Amino acid sequence: MSRLIAIASGKGGVGKTLITAALAVQLQRRGRTVLAVDADMGLGNLDLLFGLEDAVRYDASQAVRGKCLPAEALLHVLPGLDLLPASRKRTWEKLDGPSYEYVVESLSGNYDYTLIDCPPGRAETYKAATALADELLFVVEPSPSSLRDAAKVRQYCQKQGCLHDRIILNNFYADGSLTPEDVKSSLQTGQLAGLLPHDERIEALAAAGAMKDASRDLPFCRALTATAAFLETGEAVPQTRLECLLPYHGVRRESTFGLSLRHRRQESRNWRHYRR
């Protein structure tokens, strides 16, 4: 039985699609089968990150409307990793929600994990995209607007009865003005599903459509490996091991988290435990 995980955010542009693609690759590298679903109808970009924009013949909306079989809409990314692309033309308002749920549910049974890249916000489109999800991962960037919008969407989800949600922090610096502790305090959560560093190399790979070729040694991938392990085992990575991967935005100095450079280097040697 597949675990359906919706990757959501309060606002656009926080790295939700990038995380969906990269997490799918990390889970595949750990021997899991993964279906990546682009649910951002009319604005989806997940195919671009995998370099498959020219390979799309059918999409989710065509499967919903019976123009093709659900399996015919799938794109092969890697062995054990497939993509269900979003429509480039049709928006959610032109799709039948229950039929979409049927398509995703009929496909997901063949995979260990189904990752759903949701549209941002909390409108009806968000509700339709997350209807099947077992759990939610909320992506938060180090900005007050991202934090505020994530809080609103989380509150909305909890009112709707969805209590299985986790926070994943993206694009963080070691000397940023907003720290992981600030986010946890503001969102009233004690455990993070991930703490991902700002990493220009992963952004370049995404822009080039080469996400599946990302090196395991990139700080972003090393941090996301910990998220993959957390999803599999439920055992959180000590936060200091994630903090040691964060770059400095300004002048190099003692980390705002109280970690010396020697400590950061020592912690970085412990990551072999999380590589499979």
Note the pLDDT of residue 206. Answer: 95
Contact yes or no for 2/108 (Cβ under 8 A): yes
Q: Pairing state of beta strands 135-140 and 3-8?
A: parallel
* Domain region containing 42: 3-274
Note the pLDDT of residue 128. Answer: 65
How many Cβ atoms sit within 10 Å of the Cβ of residue 136?
A: 22
Note the pLDDT of residue 275. Answer: 52
Contact yes or no for 219/63 (Cβ under 8 A): no
* CA pseudo-torsion sign 46, 44, 65, 133: positive
* Distance separating alpha carbons of residues 155 and 258, to the nearest angstrom: 32
Tokens of 245: 């991967």
Amino acid at 21: A
Contacts of 230 (CB under 8 A, 6+ apart): 193, 194, 236, 237
Contact yes or no for 182/39 (Cβ under 8 A): no
Residue 79 burial (C-beta neighbours within 10 Å; 0-12, 13-18, 19+): exposed
SS3 of 38, please? strand
Alpha-carbon distances, residue 110 vs 38, 104, 271 (angstroms): 17, 11, 31
- Which pTM value belongs to this model? 0.87
Count of helix runs (H) and strand runs (E) in the chain: 11, 8
Q: Which ranges of the chain have pLDDT less than 50?
A: 251-268, 271
Note the pLDDT of residue 260. Answer: 43
CATH of the domain at 77: 3.40.50.300
Note the pLDDT of residue 139. Answer: 92
Note the pLDDT of residue 207. Answer: 94
Domain tally for the chain? Answer: 1
Amino acid at 173: Y
Note the pLDDT of residue 252. Answer: 45
Note the pLDDT of residue 129. Answer: 63
